[in-house]
């Protein structure tokens, strides 16, 4: 296939780079605009979990109750900064509505389809010559210490089996067979054998090099400032380094997407949800498969010579500060499940902003307002996992093909 039109991708995170890759593979002329460097946003320091088993969206029954309890604890993994913000209030209202059983199940069906396709694509990309971003399919283990943890895991295992996902409840001895590095306080686990993990920044940066080889023009330090439009069409994209007149525009600006969309008169109900990661030099005691410490809500990933602990979801607007108390709590709580955590040598503390829509699903679809705009954003806690499938779907939308997955439930209009 050969297309003459030029496509402009805004955002150089996992979503923008993946979109550019699948567009370039169609033989399109693509330019990618990035305000900073490639992989400067949430895609840099996340946990790198690629979990087709993780199909329960952020908005699910029980999340609100748990969140409210956590609000009272300054060391908890969840926080809402008290402030009078209409956007936040409206977001929380919609989030509450999305936390119903029926809606969650609808979202789960969609997420199953998206994540199943995405891990196939991840596997394909991992096989490309010259790429090595640490993709490993060793499964994923949720550890718990309490009877409530057991009950939650057991209910999750049942739900997952209903959705055709293999999920094994494990006792201590069984856990030790897949991951020997656990403390005696861990009473059980839930194991998903088909899940994977990778080194997030290596993935995005290496794919960034591949797209350049495919002819994509990458313009870093190029911030999009706004747009000039005609009815139903974007005419010009104005940036700090000149104006662009593309035929089609892909908006993949992560948590920054709402301010870009605002200029187009489009309301994207995305909240930036801050999370932290702490990366340490790996020790002999570090886990060798991805682990979730359930009660603490801390994700632990083995990433080559390092081990990364990630967690916390703060709805605090664009507050860039690092809350030392919450960061310390991540390590303290990890030490209740895993041996040798206190002695680890710290390499990096990082914070990033997840782009969160109120129902926990992304927006992937052509804008109903501008016929040459495609939205690909709002991937919340699963953007690393869904990068490739999002890129593939964007390329199908750009070519006006029928998408491989029905995107009705992912259109922005679901919030109208
Ligand atoms: C602590 C933590 C752990 C996580 N763990 C996982 C995990 O294990 N698995 C998983 O799947 N997901 C995980 N996530 C979520 C994942 O990181 C995000 O969903 C994903 O990175 C979003 O990608 P993105 O490309 O949409 O956004 P980003 O990576 O944030 O990229 C957006 C880019 O747009 C650029 N930009 C912004 N404004 C402009 C502008 N005006 N002009 C040009 N460019 C602009 C930014 O500089 C940025 O580079 C985690 C997130 C956090 C915070």
Block means of pLDDT (10 residues each) for the chain, 416 residues, are 75 98 97 98 98 94 89 89 93 95 96 98 96 97 96 96 97 96 96 98 98 97 98 96 96 98 98 98 96 97 97 95 94 96 96 97 98 98 98 98 97 95
CA 69 to chain centre: 25
Atom of ligand 1 nearest to the CA of 383: 19
Residue 127 has a pLDDT of 96
The number of helices, as runs of H, and strands, as runs of E, in the chain is: 10, 20
140 lines ligand 1 (CB under 6 A): no
Ligand 1, atom 22, residue with closest C-alpha: 383
What separation in angstroms does the CA of 253 have from each of 1, 21, 43? 28, 16, 11
Take atom 51 of ligand 1 and give the residue whose Cα is closest.
46
Q: What mean pLDDT is reported for the chain?
A: 96
pTM score > 0.85 for this model?
yes
Pocket test for ligand 1, best of 134, 302, 303, 354 (most atoms within 8 A of CB): 354
C-beta 198 within 6 A of ligand 1: no
Q: How many CB atoms lie within 10 A of CB 318?
A: 10
Q: Is 10 in the pocket of ligand 1 (CB under 6 A)?
A: yes
Measured in degrees and rounded to the nearest 5, phi and psi for residue 340 equal 75, 15
- Any idea what DSSP says for residue 26? T
pLDDT value, residue 68 = 87
For residues 39 and 60, is the Cβ–Cβ distance under 8 A?
Answer: no
pLDDT attached to residue 209: 98
According to DSSP, residue 401 is labeled P
C-alpha to C-alpha distance for 86 and 416, rounded to whole angstroms: 16
What size, in residues, is the chain? Answer: 416
Answer yes or no: are the C-beta atoms of 361 and 410 closer than 8 Å: yes
- The rounded Å distance from CA 192 to ligand 1 centre is 25
């Amino acid at each position: 296939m050969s297309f003459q039109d030029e496509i402009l991708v805004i955002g150089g995170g996992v979503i923008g780079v993946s979109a550019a890759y699948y567009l370039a593979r169609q033989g399109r002329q693509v330019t990618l605009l990035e305000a900073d460097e490639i992989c400067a946003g949430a895609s840099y320091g996340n946990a790198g979990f690629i979990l087709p088993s993780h199909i329960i969206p952020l908005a699910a029954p029980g999340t609100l109750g748990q969140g409210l309890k956590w609000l009272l604890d300054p060391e908890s993994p969840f926080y809402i900064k008290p402030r009078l913000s209409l956007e936040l209030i409206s977001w929380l209202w919609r989030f509450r509505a999305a936390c119903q059983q029926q809606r969650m199940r609808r979202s789960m069906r969609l997420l199953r389809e998206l994540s199943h396709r995405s891990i196939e694509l991840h596997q394909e990309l991992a096989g490309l010559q010259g790429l090595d971003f640490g993709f490993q399919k060793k499964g994923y283990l949720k550890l718990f210490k309490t009877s409530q943890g057991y009950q939650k895991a057991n209910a999750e295992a049942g739900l997952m089996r209903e959705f055709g996902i293999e999920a094994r409840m494990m006792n201590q001895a069984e856990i030790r067979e897949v991951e020997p590095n656990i403390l005696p306080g861990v009473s059980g686990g839930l194991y998903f054998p088909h899940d994977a993990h990778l080194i997030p920044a290596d993935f995005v940066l290496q794919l960034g090099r591949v797209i350049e080889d495919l002819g994509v023009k990458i313009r870093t330090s190029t911030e999009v400032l706004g747009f000039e439009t005609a009815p139903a069409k974007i005419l010009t994209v104005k940036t700090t380094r000149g104006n662009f007149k593309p035929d089609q525009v892909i908006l993949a600006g992560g948590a920054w997407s709402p301010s870009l969309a605002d200029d187009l008169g489009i309301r994207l109900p995305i909240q930036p949800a801050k999370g932290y990661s702490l990366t340490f030099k790996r020790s002999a005691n570090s886990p060798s498969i991805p682990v979730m410490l359930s009660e603490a809500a801390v994700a632990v990933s083995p990433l080559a010579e390092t081990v990364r602990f990630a967690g916390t979801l703060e709805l605090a607007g664009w507050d860039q500060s690092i809350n030392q108390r919450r960061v310390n709590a991540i390590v303290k709580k990890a030490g209740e499940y895993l041996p040798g955590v206190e002695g680890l040598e710290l390499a990096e503390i990082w914070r990033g902003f997840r782009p969160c829509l109120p129902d926990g699903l992304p927006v992937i679809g052509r804008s109903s307002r501008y016929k040459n705009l495609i939205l690909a954003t709002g991937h919340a806690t699963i953007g690393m996992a869904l990068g490739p499938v999002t890129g593939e779907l964007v390329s199908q939308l750009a070519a006006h093909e029928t998408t491989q997955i029905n995107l009705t439930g992912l259109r922005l209009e679901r919030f109208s």
